[in-house]
Amino acid sequence: MKARGKVNLCLLVGAPRTDGLHPLVSVFQPTALADEVTIEPASPEEIVAIARREAAARRRDGASGVRDLVVCPGVYGDNLALRAFTEFRAATGWDGAPQRISIAKRIPVAGGMAGGSADAAAALRLAGQVSGIPVPNHLAMRLGADVPALLHDTRALVTGAGEHVEPVAGAELPLVIVPLDAALTAKEVYRAFDILGAARSDEELAEAAARIRAGHDPPLVNDLEPAARRLCRAIDPALEALEKEGAEHPMVTGSGPTVFGRAADPERVAARLREAGYNRAVAA
């Protein structure tokens, strides 16, 4: 299953709520730059390994609940797709056979395109398919603010702290995406955003959401971009390169550092960018 990354065609951000999350207004566009997520029953050897891991977790923590495993070459540590499967089992009571979740990564890690969230959303869809149980409505938000929108895999208006997702009309725009050889975490970018003191009022956010619902184009603004640019010096020359090669409205997506722009001929612009040294530039 394709786990499509996203770009934020706009991202307007307010001050943190009492729960620490930031209210936002954003339009998500899924992209052709996608991971591939597959599941299959775990092998007998893998089932034994899972059982040993379960036993060790029970001895250490008193409980576990992880009955599946994930294989994601090049990405180590906790994996949101595995957590999605575990949370699905807990929420639905599904007791199916242990599964092997395999992920072929193409979306940049810590690049602002929600690759981990896309994998988690795909894992939830696959869990629903293999179990025959619909994905519970509340489950996606528990996994992260980007997961609800990516679960639907469509162009969407995202409000609240990510929990409110509405399809919005409009064709997906032809884009050029430039992943950079750098990484930023959302946590550090939001922290820098808060220090800059550029949060929008609740009234501004509500007005912007209403205009988008009414059919107006989203404002081509990412409120997190100044913070991301301060933290990652590679962003500015990449934005300049996009503009030089003919992309319109070059922007940072999400918390960055990945940048993108609109282009009438995205394949040509991406090729020119690769010639200029941005080897990971793609039309998407």
Active site residues: 6, 146
In order, the DSSP letters of 23-54 are PEEEEEEEEEEEEEEEEEEPPHHHHHHHHHHH
**Tokens linked to 225:** 């971009």
Task: Work out the number of other CB atoms within 10 angstroms of the CB of residue 191.
Answer: 12
Using CB atoms within 10 Å of the CB of residue 182, give its burial: 0 to 12 exposed, 13 to 18 middle, 19+ buried.
Answer: middle
Bridge pairing between strands 99-104 and 69-71? parallel
Amino acid identity for residue 236 in this structure: D
Which residue is listed with tokens 């991202």?
11
Evaluate whether 253 touches 225 at the Cβ level (below 8 Å): no
Q: How far apart are the first and last CA of the chain?
A: 17
What whole-number distance in Å separates Cα of residue 266 and Cα of residue 85? 36
